[in-house]
Amino acid sequence: MSNVSNLLTDTTNTTNTTNTTTTKRTPRTPARKKAKELAKYLRGERPDYLYMKELFRHLRDELEIKVPRQPQKLPYVPTEEEIQGYYRVVWDSENLQDAILIKLLLVTGVRVGELVKI
């Protein structure tokens, strides 16, 4: 497994002079080429998706790579006036079929997809 860790680490050359420290990175291997090299080492183990997911989770921890998280967006909540407007339109509707569907949505809180399947 040490060969795999050698494949995944960037080699760095550090030189210390009297007052400055410079770090020179070697260029990265293209991702496709690195994937082929990793596949060569892992093919004998016949890994499945869950194994690879776990492997790369541990690899991110070892290399201290942080996964950027997208902030979750809150759903839109209608105002009281909008809700009252919906109710007025629904209760005054002359199309009985549409009125029943919308009343069911508003009163029960069922999802649209679930209501359509009924």
> What is the rounded distance in angstroms from the CA atom of residue 72 to the CA atom of residue 69?
9
Where do the DSSP E strands lie in the chain? Answer: 12-16, 21-25
pLDDT at 33 over 70: yes
What pTM value is reported for the model?
0.39
Per-residue CA distances from 67 to 22, 56, 58 (Å): 28, 12, 12
pLDDT for residue 16:
47
pLDDT tens readout for residues 79-113: 989 988 887 887 787 788 877 877 787 788 888 88
106, 86 Cβ separation under 8 angstroms: yes
Q: What is the DSSP letter of 63?
A: T
Select the more confidently predicted residue: 41 or 118: 41
Provide the percentage of residues in the chain whose pLDDT is more than 70. 81
